[in-house]
Amino acid sequence: MGKAQHTGADIIAAYVKTLSGKPGVYRMFNAHGELLYIGKAKNLKKRVTAYTKYDRHPIRIQRMIRATKTMEFVVTESETEALLLEATLIKRLKPRYNILLRDDKSFPYILMRTDHPAAQLMKHRGKRNKPGQYYGPFASASAVNRTLDTLQRAFRLRTCSDSVYAGRTRPCMLHQIKRCAAPCTGEISLRDYAQLNQDASDFLSGRSQDLQKRLQARMQLASDNLHFEQAAEIRDRIRAMAFVSTGKAHIAPKTFAEADVAAIHRDAGGQACVHVFFFRAGQNWGANAYYPRHAKDQDTADILDSFLAQFYTGKPIPKQLFVNVDLPNKALLETALSERRQKSFRIFKPKRGEKFDLVELARRNASEALARKLAETASQNKLLKGLAEALDLPDPPERIEVYDNSHIQGTNAVGAFIVAGTDGFLRREYRTFNIKNASTQPGDDFAMMREVMRRRFSRLLKEDGLTWPDLVLIDGGKGQLSAVSGVLEDLGVLERTTLLAIAKGPERNAGRETFHMIGRPEFSLPARTPVLYYLQRLRDEAHRFAIGTHRAKRKKQMHTSPLDAIEGIGPSRKKALLAWFGSAKAVASATADDLAKVDGISKKLAGSIHDHFNE
């Protein structure tokens, strides 16, 4: 027993002999190649040597040491570089024994497009590759929408697309309700509209007080010149701006303009929640609650420390951060994030004043969010336990995947699955499949389901680290169950999960569904029971997701131009051709000589376009 316990420690000790005293990152793997832990070190040799002292560690770490069979090392130039690399790897690889930031996502921005004479205001998420000014990040889409609403009321900037802008012959409804200045129809000159754009930029950049003084001066001047309607418009803009500072949903700081506020709260059972406020340009741009994965015996400060290192990986870093605990790696985090930001970054634990009040507010929000989360989890666990009893499962399922297909007479066919578990619907893990198999007949639901299952479970077999479903729910009857079980049997994984098919009742009557499982006669569940309602919710969510994906694909196809299929025709040349000929149909019927008259279209390319439409 003792020898087996120290097997992992002996393996680690063998690695220590070859290690240097330089900073770096180490990774620990088990016998199956599964990543157990990622750590950083100022001195790799000293840090890894500590794992050879088996008896000095808590039971959780002893278990990790016993499981370790191989290790990998990366030497870095500095400890700060090691910290950043560690955070990036943890976030990407999600090791079992690390504190892990869950439910992470990209943050939305407000984009002021400047590549058009009349700047467009829009919400943006993803890569910032469009020309213009970006403001953010905002904590959520609702925070962006709230600010966009304020900007529309205060500055009346357009939010419509360029094609809608170009096609207007009279002002739209937004102009009628005083949400747009209507530069599209000349209701405002482009020069005056540019001034509105500049005012909005000042507001989003934190220069709102100077802007307010300028607007008050303009209002007074308009009033003195008896231009009362113009003065009233400026007054309304000032009121809309003031709402950001005084509205119930907003908390505007007075002692700083740019910072994040992060507070952690733990309940009696050791669960943790981190609540983060985003303050930019002197305004509250929203808040989010996060529930990092961690062991119950891990220190609260260590949890927040590791959370922050991962949280700012790939995200904009503010000037300063206010927290409610003393961080063990505070100086290292400040140095590392300052290097990444290329400007100074400081972390403070305020003890009094406005900053302390905001940190305490964040902590109370974390406490309330955690209480709600635990209540929801308890309810969800009760449902999963009831589901296990109804299906005769040995344990409540921790991961449920629900599959559905969507198409119209075989066109734009897609398959999709959703994921649910102890935390409810896991929307970040939803996936879709474009049906690719040429042999699949249009509308053949069985063949579509077989293709989706083969692709999904083949990937599960190939890629380590992916979580297998405990229960697979299929929208259909015996036929769908047979098709799916055949695929899983061919792959040799039929025994690794439980299959359940749910067939709609007579006349598609909800509440009278029949269920099919392998090796069990078809059965029904009592009407109006929580388990039946839960299964219906799962099926309906999968159907909603599948049909939504199908509609998006169909809509995209409707907007596809025949010119897109021609090699050498990109957005600029397509725009030039459509501007010259008026439509894709006119381009298709044009001669090669006529096509060559368009700017950017050579004689050779004109011949290729003509041949494409006249084969």
What CATH number does residue 406 fall under?
3.30.420.340
Which amino acid is residue 368, in one-letter code? E
Quick check: is 568 in a domain? Answer: yes
Quick check: is 26 in a domain? Answer: yes
- In this predicted structure, the answer to whether residue 582 has a pLDDT above a threshold of 80 is no
On average, the pLDDT of the chain sits at 86
The answer on 585 and 510 residing in a single domain is no
The answer on 536 and 450 residing in a single domain is yes
Pull the structure tokens for residue 165.
């802008």
The answer on 229 and 81 residing in a single domain is no
Q: What is the per-residue pLDDT for 148? A: 86
| Number of CB atoms found within 10 A of residue 369's CB | 19
Are residues 122 and 113 in contact, defined by beta-carbon separation less than 8 angstroms?
A: yes
At which of 246, 268, 292 does a domain end? 246
Quick check: is 103 in a domain? Answer: no
**What pLDDT, in 10s, does the model give residues 189-198?**
999 899 888 8
Are residues 368 and 268 in contact, defined by beta-carbon separation less than 8 angstroms?
A: no
Domain total of the chain: 5
- In this predicted structure, the answer to whether residue 90 has a pLDDT above a threshold of 90 is yes
The answer on 411 and 553 residing in a single domain is yes
Q: State the Cα–Cα distance between residues 158 and 135, nearest whole angstrom.
A: 17
* 283-300: average pLDDT: 90
- In this predicted structure, the answer to whether residue 5 has a pLDDT above a threshold of 50 is no
Q: What is the per-residue pLDDT for 1? A: 39
**Which of 12 and 142 is assigned the larger pLDDT?**
12
Q: What is the per-residue pLDDT for 507? A: 54
Q: State the Cα–Cα distance between residues 279 and 318, nearest whole angstrom.
A: 9
Q: What is the per-residue pLDDT for 435? A: 76
- In this predicted structure, the answer to whether residue 76 has a pLDDT above a threshold of 90 is yes
At which of 212, 246, 280 does a domain end? 246
Q: Residue 346: give the domain boundaries.
A: 259-371
The answer on 531 and 429 residing in a single domain is yes
Are residues 397 and 384 in contact, defined by beta-carbon separation less than 8 angstroms?
A: yes
Quick check: is 383 in a domain? Answer: no
Q: How confident is the model at residue 185 (pLDDT cuts 50, 70, 90)?
A: very high
The answer on 551 and 577 residing in a single domain is no
Q: State the Cα–Cα distance between residues 589 and 444, nearest whole angstrom.
A: 38
Listed range (79-93, 376-390, 395-409, 499-513) with the worst mean pLDDT: 499-513
**What pLDDT, in 10s, does the model give residues 520-573?**
999 999 888 899 999 999 999 998 888 877 676 666 554 556 676 677 787 788
Specify the pTM: 0.71
Which amino acid is residue 551, in one-letter code? R
Output the domain CATH number for residue 78. 3.40.1440.10
Which amino acid is residue 201, in one-letter code? S
Q: What is the per-residue pLDDT for 246? A: 46
**Closest Cα to residue 424, out of 470, 378, 461?**
378
Listed range (161-170, 239-248, 376-385, 580-589) with the worst mean pLDDT: 239-248
Q: What is the per-residue pLDDT for 127? A: 82
Query: Helix (H) and strand (E) counts for the chain?
Result: 21, 19
- In this predicted structure, the answer to whether residue 469 has a pLDDT above a threshold of 90 is yes
Question: To which H or E segment does residue 371 belong?
Answer: helix 353-391
Q: What is the 3-state secondary structure (H, E, C) of 123-180?
A: EECCCCCCCEEEECCCCCHHHHHHHHHHHHHHHCCECCCHHHHHHCCCCCHHHHCCCC
**What pLDDT, in 10s, does the model give residues 214-268?**
878 888 888 888 888 778 877 877 776 766 554 444 567 889 989 999 999 998 8
Q: What is the per-residue pLDDT for 338? A: 94
Mapping DSSP to helix (H, G, I), strand (E, B) and coil, where does residue 36 land?
Answer: strand
Quick check: is 98 in a domain? Answer: no
266 forms bridges with which residues in the sheet? 272
